[in-house]
């Protein structure tokens, strides 16, 4: 049986399997019941690896070992496999979350924080810059900067960017506001997003801007993240932002923000 590489690739991604596992599993699905030797020949997997791989598939709930000699393996119906994998992934994720939650406030985290603090102290401020690729990573970095904000957060963005930022950063902005941080957002306001802007009256001050088409965020006059591509023309996975930690450049962008802000009264 020949299985297309495209199918094998999809199965590896969806079920979190390695190449040998998907080859033996699909071979067993095509037979229903088979020995490790037969599956090895069909799937073109070394016999020396077949038993280990089939044992791994058994532990993951993909196959059942049949009693008797020679040892044979029975394929579990794919629908049942999906349910099992989903359940195992959920349990595994919950376990990892508990493990990470247990680190907070522990000596391990304190040690890591000390290492980071000491390391940052040795870094030249000019080197505190980076390129952030992908919109998801961009929003994670913005979330971090806003969490650490103490005085101001200025956001200039597009119509769609405004909607995305509220969806992804609203909770963090709300917490910043409660800490006394001044949050200002400058963006094109339309019928579509005006109600959203009104819902932010206790979190941020929002003003209409249609004169300057750009996307950037400044925090405390010290950190700047600016997006170098037009969000209308770029796929979220290829969006690109540049983060710099420099009062000199950030203050210049704050001046631009204030000019647009004052014209929008």
In a domain, 102, yes or no: no
Q: Mark whether 143 and 254 lie in a shared domain.
A: yes
Residues 73 and 130 in one domain: no
Residues 250 and 133 in one domain: yes
Q: Tell me the CATH number at 69.
A: 1.10.10.10
Domain count, the chain: 2
Asked whether residue 148 is domain-assigned, the answer is yes
* DSSP one-letter code for 150: S
pTM exceeds 0.75 for this model: no
**pLDDT score recorded for residue 108:** 81
Q: Is residue 99, in this structure, part of any structural domain at all?
A: no
In a domain, 24, yes or no: yes
Residues 244, 152 within the same domain: yes
* Dihedral, CA of residue 14, residue 85, residue 25 and residue 4, to nearest 10: -20
| Residues 203-238 pLDDT 10s | 999 999 988 999 999 999 999 999 999 999 899 999
Q: Tell me if 54 is assigned to some domain.
A: yes
Q: Are residues 131 and 245 in the same domain?
A: yes
Contact, 258 vs 205, CB < 8 A? no
Mean pLDDT value of segment 152-177? 94
Mark 125-147 as b/e (b = at least 16 C-beta within 10 Å): eeeeeeebeebeebbebbeebbe
Rounded distance between C-alpha atoms, residue 229 and residue 13, angstroms: 30
Verify that 60 and 173 share a domain, yes or no. no
For residue 129, the domain's CATH number is 3.30.870.10
Same domain? 71 vs 132: no
Are the C-beta atoms of 72 and 78 separated by less than 8 Å? Answer: no
Residues 167 and 236 in one domain: yes
The arithmetic mean of pLDDT across residues 32-44, rounded, is 91
With respect to residue 225, please indicate whether it lies within any of the assigned structural domains. Answer: yes
* Per-residue pLDDT at 162: 94
69 and 164 assigned to the same domain: no
Does 243 lie in the same domain as 177?
A: yes
What confidence score (pLDDT) does residue 122 get? 56
The verdict on 239 and 160 lying in the same domain is yes
Q: Nearest to residue 27, comparing CAs of 69, 62, 67, 79?
A: 62
Percentage of residues of the chain with pLDDT beyond 70 = 94
Give pLDDT, residue 241: 92
Give residue 155's pLDDT. Answer: 97
CA distance 160 to 158: 6
| pLDDT exceeds cutoff 80 at 125 | no
- Domain containing residue 17: 5-77
**164 and 252 belong to one structural domain:** yes
């Amino acid at each position: 049986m020949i299985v297309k590489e495209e199918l094998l690739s999809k199965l590896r991604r969806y079920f979190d399997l390695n190449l040998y596992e998907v080859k033996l599993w699909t071979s067993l699905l095509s037979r229903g019941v088979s020995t490790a030797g037969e599956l090895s020949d069909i799937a073109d997997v070394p016999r020396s690896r077949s038993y280990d791989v089939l044992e791994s598939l058994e532990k993951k709930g993909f196959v059942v070992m049949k009693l008797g000699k020679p040892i044979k393996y029975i394929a579990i119906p794919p629908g049942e496999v999906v349910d099992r994998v989903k359940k195992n992934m959920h349990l595994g994720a919950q376990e990892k979350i508990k493990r990470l939650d247990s680190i907070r406030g522990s000596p391990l985290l304190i040690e890591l924080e000390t290492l980071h603090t000491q390391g940052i102290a040795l870094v030249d401020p000019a080197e505190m810059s980076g390129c952030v690729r992908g919109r998801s990573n961009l929003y994670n970095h913005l979330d971090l900067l806003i969490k650490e904000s103490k005085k101001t957060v200025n956001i200039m963005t597009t119509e769609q960017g405004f909607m995305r930022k509220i969806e992804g950063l609203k909770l963090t902005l709300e917490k910043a506001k409660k800490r006394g941080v001044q949050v200002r957002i400058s963006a094109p306001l339309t019928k579509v997003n005006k109600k959203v802007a009104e819902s932010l009256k206790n979190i941020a001050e929002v003003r209409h801007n249609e004169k300057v088409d750009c996307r950037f965020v400044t925090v405390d006059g010290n950190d700047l993240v600016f997006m170098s591509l037009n969000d209308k023309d770029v796929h979220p996975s290829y969006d690109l932002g540049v983060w710099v930690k420099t009062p000199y450049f950030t203050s210049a962008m704050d001046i631009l923000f204030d000019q647009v802000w004052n014209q929008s009264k």
